[in-house]
Structure formats: C-alpha cells, structure tokens
Amino acid sequence: MKKKIIIIGGGFAGIQLARKLNTGEFEILLIDKLNHHQFQPLFYQVATSQLEPSSISFPLRNIFKRQNNIQIRVAEVRKIHPSSQEVETSIGNFKYDELIIATGCRTNFFGNPQLEEHTYTLKSTYDAIAIRNHILSSFEKIISASGPEKEALLNLVIVGAGPTGVELAGAFAEIKKNILPKDYPGIDFSRLSIYLLEGSPHPLNNMSEKAKTAATRYLLEMGVQLLTGKMVKDYNGHTLLLSDGQEIPSSTVIWAAGVKGNFIEGIPNEVRMPGERIRVERNNQVEGLPHIYAIGDIAYMPTPKYPKGHPQVANVAINQAKLLASNLKRAFKQKALLPFEYKDLGSMATIGTNKAVVDLPFIQFTGYIAWLVWMFLHLMLILSVKNKLIIFINWAWAYVTKDTSLRLILKPAKPEELESS
C-alpha cells in the first residue's frame, strides 16, 4: 500500500524532496500558498529591473508534470494535528502517513511594527516587483519634487549587509552610474545616495576576512555609503532613526536584516527554537513527533559541527531533502535511518559586474573569476533549460550594453492602490 506523504512548501527543500520521491511507494501531496517555485538568490535582480519575474519563477504543476504520484494544492496551511495525522488548510483537511515541513523563512522585524509597516522586504517575487515599482516611481517623482520630499527620494537605504543587502546595493550603484543619467538627463544623480547599514563591523560578516575586505572595497569604490556598527531604532516612512541618534531622511528603506521561520500552529512549543525554527533530530524528524519531519531553513538541527543549527542556505535545504528522501525509502523497507551531516561547500556573493567574492573550503578568491563562478553556479541551479538561456541572454546583453530594457512600472488596476504601495 502506498504511503501518503504531505510536503508543506515548494521551496528548494520541498521541490528537491518531491523530485527524489518519484517512486511507486509514495503518494505525494505538495501544498504551497503559491502555485510556483521562486528562485530566491535572484530576487534582487528582479527588484533592480535586471530580470523579469517569470525568469526566476517556475509553476509547480509544470515542474512535476511527468510525476504521476504528485498532487499539487494551492492553499494556506493553518494547523497541524499530530494526534490524528491531519493537516488543516484553507481548502480542507488532509490525512498523512508522513508529514514534511519545508516552509522556509520570512522577514524578521525583531518586534518593531513600524519597520514592518513602512519598509520593503525581499522574500518573494511579489516583494521584488513591489520594490521595482516603488524605485522606478520614485525616480519619476524626483523630476518634480523639491525640498524635504526630494531629499528623501534621493536617499535609498538598505538595512543588512548580508548577501542580499550587498547585492542590492551594488546593483543600485550600477544603475545610478550607467542607466539613470541616460533615462533622466535633467537630474543630477550625483546627489542620489545609496546607504547600506550593517550592525556588525563588516559586510558579509559570515564570510572570510578576504571576502569582507574585498566587499568593503568594492562597495566604497562604487559610491555606496557603507555604515557598519549601526543599528536601526525606528522608521516612520519618511525618516530612519538609528540607535546612535543619527537620522536619514528616506522614502525607500529595504529591510534585509534578518529572518525567522514560518512556524506552523500545532507544533509543540517545546521544539520551538530561537528564530522560530523547529528542533529536529539528526534524521530531520521533529523531536517527540513521529511521522513529522522538518527540512531546510525551518529546521534547527544542532550537531557538533553546528551547535546552533545549520546555516539557512539553499545547499543545506537541498542536501537535507536528498537524505530525507533516501530515509523515507529506507523506512518503507524497514531499514534504519541515516543521520544528516552537512559538508560546507562554501559561500559567495556578487557586488556588481566583474565584482564578486567566493569562499571555498580550500581557497578564497575575488574579482572577475569569482563573478564568473557566481554566475555559472546560479545558472546551474535554475530549474529549466529555457530559463537558463533567458537569464544568460539577459546577463550577456547587460554586460555588453550596460543597460536593460526591463524598467517597467506595472501599475495596479486602481490608481489609489499605487499611492499606498
């Protein structure tokens, strides 16, 4: 008899697990709020008008069109009922034999409702489109604005200098240099300031000293105002207040300073860990809950190598999904489950054209070669050949022309909705 497996979440972990379970032993139900998988590492390129959303978005039904054992449901999961082995959703309840939680993360505002209300985030394709619309609309407003309004429009602030923040800052710096003077010849964009705020002493604080030093040099050379050791206290939509009392007038603040897990009601608080993650055993089973597993960013698995849990990156999610697929097959054959051990293959970030940093276990390097490596590896992770080609062509065109033709403001149907965006 086939086992009924429910996977919650269509991110890197959920997609990889469903693909690896393409066998006759399992009947799989994949539940997600969206009908598509999103390639998060390239959200910033959609936000900065370098790629179209469709280039990094993949319909779930198309991904699994050749897997007859997978059903897709677009729904919101409201609660898990471990005792009855049911998942409660917005479209009804579903029974499971094995449940896998792969819900990933969302933005962490650290309990500040003002920041949540007024800042922009970059955790979905929708977020990226919202940032693109807002930024392009701001450039249009600068033409006729004056006084304090114009000053706020000319200050773009990114909070958090991890890979997302660094990549956004570098991309906006290149737009400022190569594109805006041609699109708006009547505006002096030397007054446009791009601020990158970081609470720690360096950007890319989790990478090597070489990477931190190179990233700092690149950002400063590109004209980014890099403010390290700075914490945000508040933001009212017009003025950003730092903990040391400094104020930055800005109509655009992008929050990339932290994440927390998408915790689901029904999971006991005893396994609720810092950052809203779920504590799991070495085989990814949720502690104390047989038949329930958590993988990817939501999973908190302390090990001797990673006593505070694994880094919340795609490579961890993909490898946990691969091992869990193998373990579910082993369990079906009543074999012992294997423990997860993560081998860190390194990390990387790009700051701009010909500027990137790569940390591998055996070598660290920066510059043009690092940039080529970054592009190649990200292209390899894209799901479809068609999208690989589209992205490569866009990158090649932008490299040769230093331009992109994707600067579209996509207005909502009702004009008043644009004003509130």
DSSP sequence for 175-213? HHHHTHHHH-TTS-GGG-EEEEEESSSSSSTTS-HHHHH
- In the CATH scheme, what is the code of domain 3-33+75-107+259-332? 3.50.50.60
Strands 239-242 and 247-249: antiparallel
Element (H, E) at 171: helix 163-178
Extract the tokens encoding 108: 């962490």
pTM listed for this prediction: 0.92
Question: Among 66-70, 220-224, 261-265, 408-412, whose mean pLDDT is lowest?
Answer: 408-412
113-257+353-420 maps to CATH 3.40.50.12500: no
Q: What is the pLDDT of residues 221-266, one digit of tens each?
A: 999 999 999 999 999 999 999 999 999 999 999 999 989 999 999 9
- Give residue-wise pLDDT tens across range 167-219: 999 999 999 999 888 888 878 888 999 999 999 999 999 999 999 999 999 99
Mean pLDDT of the chain: 92
Q: How far is CA 198 from CA 140, 214, 218, 289, 354, in A?
A: 29, 16, 16, 39, 24
275-279 contacts at long range (C-beta below 8 A, 24 or more positions apart): 275/108, 275/300, 277/309, 278/101
Query: Which residue matches tokens 């008008």?
Result: 49
pLDDT confidence bin for 421, thresholds 50/70/90: very low
pLDDT of residue 261: 95
Of 327, 283, 284, 313, give the one whose Cα is nearest residue 381.
313
Sorted by where each begins, the domain ranges of the chain are 3-33+75-107+259-332, 113-257+353-420
Q: Hey, what are 82's tokens?
A: 């471990």
Instruction: Establish whether domains 3-33+75-107+259-332 and 113-257+353-420 are of one fold.
Output: yes
* DSSP alpha helix (H) spans, 261-384: 314-332, 368-381
